[in-house]
């Protein structure tokens, strides 16, 4: 899977946390609180494509007091960054070398394995496992392990339609995924080349990110339809980034990254891309569309 730097993930984290739809998130929290009332063991969450742990930091403070997270990512450097960042984020580190929860791939562990972590934050006791896994190959194995919720952030637009079908077929527990890109962008002030740039960017977004040709902005609609076919109840809510002057560095990096992606396609003249990038780095506001999704199997 194509990697993302810890620096980029840290830069976008405040915008990601602001953008999440809180009404939908409340439904997720209520669901997990119901699970917690029925037993004494922690609620278990598996975070796919976890990066440096931003999804955990957004959601865990709202959840029941006892939680067990498994962060799954292809990049061991990002998992190491997640562990370090979570250690700094915690109010207390209860244990920094707690045993991993057993799973089917224990025999295949490599030197990239990262010791689990047990922390306290906002009165919550959070145990975190770190699992280095190629989700393009092993998603069925990951989904076969015990979990109360599968979650992900800014992930599903990177995967292929064929992989989405595999994922939805194997999913048997609720899914909460946030910040899936929906293809809508609004920059201010407008530029006559915005439409051509966006079209080329979408072309680039649908290149292979490690799972085959990526679904890009079509991913959320595909996933909703596939899960409804399996009798999941699917709830969706918009979660756009709304960036302004206080997000200047993020706007600049977004413009630079978008222009670089467009340049790789060759669909827009290089001079136009360069001029667009310069103007967009100075944009007053920027809105990038995303969708959050909560899907629950029938009878849950």
Q: Domain 6-183+210-242+288-297 in CATH: superfamily?
A: Vaccinia Virus protein VP39 (3.40.50.150)
Spell out the residues 6+ positions from residue 268 whose beta carbon is closer than 8 angstroms to its own: 193, 196, 197, 200, 262
Residue 97's pLDDT is 66
- Helix, strand and coil percent figures for the chain, each rounded to 5: 45, 30, 25
- For the CA atoms of 155, 226, 234, 125, the dihedral, rounded to the nearest 10 degrees, stands at -40
Could you list the beta-strand ranges (E) of 99-208. Answer: 114-121, 124-132, 149-153, 175-188
Residue extents of the structural domains in the chain: 6-183+210-242+288-297
Residue 6's pLDDT is 86
Which helix (H) or strand (E) segment holds residue 121: the answer is strand 114-121
Residue 60's pLDDT is 98
pTM of structure: 0.91
Count other C-beta atoms under 10 Å from residue 228's C-beta: 13
Which residue ranges in the chain fall short of pLDDT 70?
A: 1-3, 96-112, 300
Cα 281 to chain centroid distance, Å, stands at 25
Residue 99's pLDDT is 53
Residue-wise pLDDT tens digits, 100-134: 554 544 433 443 479 999 999 999 999 999 999 99
Residue 96's pLDDT is 67
Report the alpha-carbon distance of residue 17 to residue 35 in Å, rounded: 24
């Amino acid at each position: 899977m194509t990697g993302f730097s810890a620096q980029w993930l840290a830069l976008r984290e405040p915008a990601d946390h602001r953008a999440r739809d809180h009404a939908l998130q409340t439904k997720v929290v209520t669901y997990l609180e119901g699970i917690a009332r029925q037993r004494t063991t922690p609620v278990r969450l598996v975070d796919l494509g976890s990066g440096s742990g931003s999804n955990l930091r957004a959601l865990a403070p709202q959840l029941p007091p006892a939680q067990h997270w498994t962060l799954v990512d292809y990049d061991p450097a990002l998992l190491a960054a997640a562990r370090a960042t979570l250690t700094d984020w915690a109010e207390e580190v209860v244990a920094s070398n707690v045993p991993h929860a057993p799973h089917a791939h224990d025999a295949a562990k490599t030197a990239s394995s990262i010791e689990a972590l047990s922390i306290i934050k906002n009165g919550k006791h959070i145990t975190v496992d770190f699992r280095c896994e190629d989700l393009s190959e092993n998603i069925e194995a990951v989904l076969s392990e015990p979990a109360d919720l599968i979650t992900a952030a800014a992930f599903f637009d990177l995967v292929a339609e064929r992989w989405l079908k595999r994922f939805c077929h194997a999913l048997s527990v609720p899914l909460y995924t946030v910040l899936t890109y929906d293809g809508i962008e609004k920059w201010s002030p407008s530029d006559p080349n915005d439409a051509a740039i966006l079209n080329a960017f979408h072309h680039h977004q649908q290149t292979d990110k490690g799972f085959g040709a990526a679904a890009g902005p079509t991913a959320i609609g595909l996933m909703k339809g596939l899960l409804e076919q399996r009798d999941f109840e699917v709830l969706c809510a918009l979660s756009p980034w709304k960036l302004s002057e206080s997000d200047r560095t993020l706007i600049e990096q977004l413009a630079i990254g978008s222009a670089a992606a467009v340049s790789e396609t060759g669909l827009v003249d290089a001079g136009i891309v360069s001029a667009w990038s310069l103007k967009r780095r100075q944009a007053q506001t920027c809105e990038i569309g995303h969708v959050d999704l909560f899907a629950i199997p029938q009878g849950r």
